[in-house]
Amino acid sequence: MIKDLYKEGYTQNRELSWLRFNERCLAEATDPGVPLLERLKFVSIFSSNLDEFFSVRVGALVGMKALKEDRIDNKSGLNTARQLKKIYAATAKLCRKRDEIYKDLKKEMRREGLVEVSYEECTKEEKEWLKKYFLSTVQPVLGAQIIDAHHPLPQLQSGIVYAAALMDYRSSAVLALTPVPGFLNPFVRLPGKKIVRFIHIEDVISVHMESLFRGARILERFKFTISRNAAVDIGSELADLEDYRVRMMQMLKKRKHMDLVKIEASRRPSLQARRYFERGLKTADCTTVITDLPLNRRGFFSMDTLIDDPAAKQRLQYPPYVPKLSPAFRYKKPLFAQVQKKDVLLSYPYESMDPFLQMVREAAADPAVVSIRITIYRLAKRARLVDYLCLAAENGKEVTVLIELKARFDEQNNIDYSEKLMESGCNVMYGFEDYKVHAKMCLISRRSGSALQHAVLIATGNFNENTAKQYTDLAYITANPAIINDALAFFRNMMTGVLDGRYRRLLVAPVSLKQTVLDLIRRETAKGPKGFIMVKLNAVTDEEIICALKEASCAGVEVRMIIRGISCILPEVKGKTENIHIRSIVGRYLEHSRIYVFGKGRSEKMYISSADFMTRNTERRVEAAVPILDKDIQARLHDYLDLCLRDNVKARRMSSDGRYRRIKENGELISAQDELMRTTPGSREVIQISGTVQSAHKGVIFDTRFEKPKKKTGKKKPAGGGSGKKA
């Protein structure tokens, strides 16, 4: 750690930098160029981002404060208490801004014939209809209860909306509450055809609390949701459990009992109501946010279901975009053989992940394939990739899966998948005690005569089939012998618990990635004004890298950075970072790819990586960066970076005070994401893989989605080789 770095005047606090990034997300909700329903989604994104920020980052600070670990943040000089004070103040301001934005959006919705109403705004007939709807459809699925000496406060869960009421019930004042079931439609559309009038289900439940408790008289009613501290240490009291999966399951149970860090409520509860919570919950270091917004903002993603007019629905949303099939492949021929001849780059979400999935699927069925090795961090809830890996294992392939159970908020999903993979015969590993395996790598090995051929995919983002349509990421597929040798060594080291293995081409954290990045920055620094550095990242917090970049700037090196989120380094500070320029792009897709470029011309070194320039990535995770050796792919990535730098629609420039400012429009308006959707070559068709794949060991045949096994019928195919079905 560099002592008193904040005194240099070119760094800022990580948490406050993140809040400014989240404000950028909220700003998208005010952009008239963004369709109305998409702007509502940005209100939801801002809110869910904030919930996770409190659970993880604020939770960690609260934990430090409780342990009296009064650490000084080296980038701002703030101790723990002052950081929390500034976070709470900034959060309150942002939430007030969010509420004002939502009021404006509701006015626009009304002009579009989409009218959100409160219960008080409903007509007498609508109220009667709502009561019948509540009694018939809602009340039977509610789990309402009172809170008293015989009915203790239940275990409240993060992210669940609760309707609560203080009421006079059986001659005493009691608190009553019920969770709002997540499976209920968040909107109740009122009768009528001309104008869409709707009320939120949480409001319907709140106004009908009397119906749940016969004879009750409501004194006050409110709705609320909580965020618990999610910063759980699994290495202390759980360390004696031998099975790592069991330890993770115990950690998830413990998380449900952690202290509260945030309560968001529709109104401030009275002192009498608050006492019920204070007795049952630890709220000493908890901040309260009062909001006029509905508390279930996930519902904003399904607002289109209220609209009947197809033209209006189309006008109020982004035009649909289907990721294209990369033109690098000929899809009627085996993809593995094509990778042996040329490197391929897939660029999500402009290109589809399907070619990679097809490679794994083909490998599962190919008798010559001997092994598949893969690292997994996050997966879709319904992952075809897992089905293909299971099928490969059932077909006798050696399938090794290193699945990271510590992927925050995906732990249960990964536990479930690890069990499924093991049941199918995959060799499943969980990584290291103190290091998350965050690298994204898949290695396929195939017998060719007496030799083995290999193909490896190394990516910047997860093997998640859903986020590949929402996040910008890169996947590099190659059979380059030098990279293959490193990939083989990487999996060998992971399987034997070796963190400090040696690699010739790959940069692997925590071994060589950070040191190589520092060496390359210093190499450019030595060139002075002829030096050049360009990086695209999600965040920059690593102090040594920050200091090295500052030294490069002082030497006259041109440093261009495209940083979506946190940046603890401040750009354009006179005499310090005046040659560092930072841009951030927030748009339809979440910018997630990481690209490093050092130098120009023959001396250029270009990498794509799973790692940001954050201490957690460079020192406390297993990460991988792969050099881009193919000249055509290098040129393609340069074009991509150049387009991001020319963006003057969704990009913002960071100033020396850490704030984002619009880029002056010079001539043509350019949105990098829109341009890439428009210009990326390829087919919009979905890969259709004909026929079926037979499992050699289970005696069943799987269809193309591998959802259900089909028993063999023994029937012969009709003459001509057709499917036997009519056209």
Residues serving a catalytic function are 438
Burial of 433-462, coded b for 16+ CB within 10 Å and e otherwise, reads: eebbbbbbbbbbbbeeeeeebbbbbbbbbb
Residue 35 backbone zone (phi > 0: left; psi -120 to 50: alpha; other: beta): beta
What is the distance between the alpha carbons of residues 279 and 638, in angstroms, rounded to a whole number?
A: 59
Planar angle of CA 438, 338, 465, nearest 5 degrees: 35
Cβ atoms of 593 and 474 closer than 8 Å = yes
- CB 221: neighbour CB atoms within 10 A? 19
User: What does residue 247 show for φ and ψ, rounded to 5 degrees?
Assistant: -60, -40
Write out the DSSP string of 378-390. Answer: ---SS-HHHHHHH
Residue 304, C-beta contacts closer than 8 angstroms, at least 6 positions apart: 37, 313, 316, 317
DSSP one-letter code for 623: E
| Strand ranges inside 151-271, DSSP E | 162-169, 172-179, 187-189, 196-200, 217-228, 260-265
- CB 153: neighbour CB atoms within 10 A? 15
Q: In what order do the strands lie in the sheet with 217-228?
A: 145-147, 172-179, 162-169, 217-228, 260-265, 287-290
What is the distance between the alpha carbons of residues 590 and 472, in angstroms, rounded to a whole number?
A: 6
What is the number of residues in the chain? Answer: 727
What is the distance between the alpha carbons of residues 455 and 484, in angstroms, rounded to a whole number?
A: 7
In 3-state terms, what secondary structure has residue 56?
A: helix
Here the tokens at position 700 are 């069943």
What is the distance between the alpha carbons of residues 554 and 722, in angstroms, rounded to a whole number?
A: 70
Residue 681, C-beta contacts closer than 8 angstroms, at least 6 positions apart: 324, 327
Write out the DSSP string of 231-251. Answer: ---TTSTTTT-S-HHHHHHHH
